[in-house]
Structure 1
């Protein structure tokens, strides 16, 4: 299952960093977008909205204001679901996702992975 992590960070104290590593440990293919180009655990982090193919899940680590520039992009990827991690909850985006047939959940990706519910 391919996951796109938006808000990637090389800072090991950030949850986005912990989740990227955990996704890899659990055998998931990961694409990542962040504020700067870098490589984390062998994953190239880009800064541009690349039209990735076959994204199953998008996991967000951006506050609702920063998410706005990604609305159309995420919808265009047609993921099965978008995970809104703590602090990223966004009812406006929920409505857009629902209108486009995309599922979403308010959850912690790290907890979902740790408890085998991802």
Structure 2
């Protein structure tokens, strides 16, 4: 399995949050992980940044932000030019799917945790 450099957008250090579980699972499976969230913290050795950080060679961006909060990141995500953006449950956003498609970025409505657990990540 190749390392898929992943950005978790909407990351949380709260253990009950899916984004926290996703960071743990990604790290456990050997992927490089970057994280941006509202609050600074650390999960599995990954520092959660509170501001946009420069992105290079990102394979996947996994969203844990509701559609209204995603708007602030549209340009940031398009400019990062990831291979795909995963819309986790509760983040579905048809407006954003269209923008990504126009920029040749694949959008996937899925659960990062399920993809990892079933080796389909």
Q: TM-score, normalised by structure 1?
A: 0.98
Which structure 1 segments of 5+ residues have no match? none
Alignment of 1:2-17 (within 5 A): 2-17=5-20
2-structure distance, mates of 1:45, 1:13: 16
1:76 aligns with 2:57: no
- Using the TM superposition, name which of 102-111 and 48-57 deviates more: 48-57
Count of equivalent residues: 118
- Taking structure 2 as the reference length, what is the TM-score of the superposition? 0.96
Note the 1:20-39 alignment, pairs <5 A.
Answer: 20-39=23-42
1-structure distance, mates of 2:57, 2:10:
19
User: How far has the Cα of 1:41 moved from its partner?
Assistant: 1.4
1:40 Cα deviation after fit: 1.4
Please list every run of at least 4 consecutive aligned residues from structure 1 whose deviation after the TM superposition is greater than 4 angstroms.
none
**Could you say what the CA RMSD is over the residues aligned between the two structures, in angstroms?**
0.6
Structure 2: runs of 5+ lacking an equivalent: none
1:39-66 CA distances to partner (integer Å, 9 max, x unpaired)? 1111011011112111100000000000
